[in-house]
Amino acid sequence: MKLQTLLNALSFTQVTDQSINPEIKRIEQDTRKVAEGTLFICIEGTVYDGHQFAREAEKRGAVAIVAKKPVDVNVPVVYVQDTKRAMAILASAFYQYPSEKLNIIGVTGTNGKTSVSHMIEHIFQTNGKSTGLIGTLYTKYNNETFDTKNTTPDSITLQKLFSNMIAKNVEFVSMEVSSHALVQGRVWGTDFDVAVFTNLTQDHLDYHKTMDEYRFAKGLLFSQLGNTYSPERKKFAILNADDEASRYFETVTGVHILTYGIERQANIRATNIRFFNKGTSFTLQTPEGKWQVTIPLIGKFNVYNSLAAISVGFVYDIPMDRIIQSFTKFPGVPGRLELVDGGQSFGVIVDYAHTPDSLENVLKTVRSIGKGRLFVVVGCGGDRDRLKRPIMAKIACKYATDPIFTSDNPRSEDPMAILKEMEEGVKGLYYKVIPDRKEAIQWAIRSASKDDIVLIAGKGHETYQIIGDQKIDFDDRLVAREAIRNK
């Protein structure tokens, strides 16, 4: 596409040299991806200012630059007021507005995004629809999976993904939308059809500063749904009736609202919940009737997650008995209450709980199925919300008989300093500190006996540990398996 054709998508631009109209073969915001024929967009980030890379981009083959501040290059520069916004608009224009051709379901909330987006994907897939999935674990479509750097990719990566999905005949995209992505405009230019809210509890206060700001960030997904009621393309906000934040989201969206819940009245509601060892059953009430549902997942939080996913199937008119049927074959999500079975006489579970609320939910659930001691191996990530550290430690001590504090991903922080902050929350309580994660897991597994449970929390599916700027191989599941073998 020619630069000037592409620029029709923007308003109020100033181009330094209109006589040159290069062919744009790709759009990038990262010099490391720049190749011949790139339109490079300078983004002011939290670590770098992309403007400083303009010359580097030119050297690597950029044929035009989008900037908001003067840059010294010999290719045309498109000056705009806001490069992040321009990036989203240009990316969606470059890929021919792909999100308008897809049914896009965005899932936001503190916990449960990965779980719910997988359930949605599964419901569509088992009902013969072609799906795409974008989130923490991977991007997946057409039976292929691709690694992702972020839970929600930047706007260029995202629009390109949508375009690739269309080329593979994807119809429904189930994607996680993080609060970081929402405030950073990564989903600007994306036309969502359905937005799902799971829950809002403490996390990421390093970034959002207050819970109100964090809630505001999540609300952007609902306000971006717009105010349209086209019968061909209905838009829905699917809200958790039991979470107070939903009252706020109702006020920021103009589209249809569908609620789900357990405790309060809701359009899609679970009652008579019964937990058993390998699953949960409940009565499902919808505007169309009552059904009996069994899901192969434990924990009240998974009832919420399944209600959220059922609600999506419902708004897309998938028959309820088929939605329910699809759950019988739901394979679960890697690293979410994942059992490690090496033939041992006690339970070992790897889970991604890394927030106070998820840790509490998971510990409550696991405690209810165990007959013996409950070991929890848990740490807190470095360069992330520090306020959650003492709270998570306290929760670990409240529910587990044997809390073991260890390292998660320390990143640039001193692991001992993180542990000290955790310990602030548990003065006078029983716990053990084993800073090396492998040793902590080994200790718990060595100490457990028949009918006990060892919960290894915080890293779930992760196959690495980030220490300083090193990313070393580390997989809780493999470490646990080895410890079981050596016992």
Ligand X SMILES: Nc1ncnc2c1ncn2[C@@H]1O[C@H](COP(=O)(O)OP(=O)(O)OP(=O)(O)O)[C@@H](O)[C@H]1O
Ligand Y SMILES: CC(=O)N[C@H]1[C@@H](OP(=O)(O)OP(=O)(O)OC[C@H]2O[C@@H](n3ccc(=O)[nH]c3=O)[C@H](O)[C@@H]2O)O[C@H](CO)[C@@H](O)[C@@H]1O[C@H](C)C(=O)N[C@@H](C)C(=O)N[C@H](CCC(=O)O)C(=O)O
Partner whose footprint covers residue 283, from ligand X, ligand Y, Mg ion, none (CB < 5 to 8 Å by kind): none
Closest approach, Cβ 201 to ligand Y, in A, equals 12
Asked if residue 81 lies in contact with residue 10, where contact means CB atoms within 8 angstroms, the answer is no
Residues making up the chain, counted from first to last: 487
Alpha helices (H) along 234-319: 245-252, 300-315
Burial pattern 410-430, b for ≥16 Cβ within 10 A else e, equals bbebebeebbebbbebbeeee
Closest approach, Cβ 412 to Mg ion, in A, equals 23
Long-range interactions of 241-249: CB distance < 8 A, separation 24+: 241/265, 241/266, 241/269, 242/266, 242/304, 243/197, 243/199, 243/200, 244/200, 245/197, 245/199, 245/200, 245/215, 245/218, 246/197, 248/215, 248/219, 249/197, 249/218, 249/219, 249/222
217 or 454: CB nearest ligand Y: 217
Burial class (CB in 10 A: 0-12, 13-18, 19+), 449: exposed
91 or 362: CB nearest ligand X: 362
Nearest C-alpha neighbor of 442 from the set 471, 485, 401, 472 = 485
Answer yes or no: is 151 a known binding residue.
yes
Task: Tell me which residues in 447-486 interact with ligand API (CB under 6 A).
Answer: 458-459, 462
Partner whose footprint covers residue 304, from ligand X, ligand API, Mg ion, none (CB < 5 to 8 Å by kind): ligand X
Closest approach, Cβ 243 to ligand X, in A, equals 10
Partner whose footprint covers residue 114, from ligand Y, ligand API, Mg ion, none (CB < 5 to 8 Å by kind): Mg ion
Q: Which stretch binds ligand X (CB under 6 A): 26-34, 140-148, 298-306, 470-478?
A: 298-306
Task: Tell me which residues in 159-218 interact with ligand X (CB under 6 A).
Answer: 176, 198-199
Tokens 């799971």 belong to 198
Binding mask 115-154 for ligand API (x = CB under 6 A): ------------------------------------x---
Which of 154, 408, 452, 476 lies at the binding interface for ligand API (CB under 6 A)?
408
First to last CA, the chain: 62
9 or 205: CB nearest ligand API: 205
Q: Is 106 in the site for ligand API (CB under 6 A)?
A: no
Burial class (CB in 10 A: 0-12, 13-18, 19+), 435: middle
User: d(Cα 463, Cα 210) in Å, to the nearest integer?
Assistant: 31
219 or 335: CB nearest ligand API: 335
Tokens 């759950």 belong to 327
Answer yes or no: is 114 a known binding residue.
yes
Please give the residue ranges that form the binding site for ligand Y (CB under 6 A). Answer: 29-32, 43, 45-48, 50, 53, 149-152, 154, 178, 180-181, 184, 186
User: d(Cα 205, Cα 209) in Å, to the nearest integer?
Assistant: 5
Partner whose footprint covers residue 115, from ligand Y, ligand X, ligand API, none (CB < 5 to 8 Å by kind): ligand X
Answer yes or no: is 184 a known binding residue.
yes
User: d(Cα 190, Cα 192) in Å, to the nearest integer?
Assistant: 6
Which of 136, 157, 305, 406 lies at the binding interface for Mg ion (CB under 5 A)?
136
Phi, psi of 391 (to 5 degrees): -70, -45
- Pair type for strands 402-405 and 38-41: unpaired
Binding mask 345-384 for ligand API (x = CB under 6 A): ---------x--------------------------x--x
- Residue ranges of the annotated binding site for ATP are 109-115
- Residue ranges of the annotated binding site are 31, 109-115, 150-152, 178, 184, 186, 384, 408-411, 458, 462
Binding site for ligand X (CB under 6 A): 111-115, 136, 151, 176, 198-199, 301, 304-305, 336, 351-353, 357-358, 361-362, 460
Binding site for ligand API (CB under 6 A): 151, 354, 381, 384, 408-409, 458-459, 462
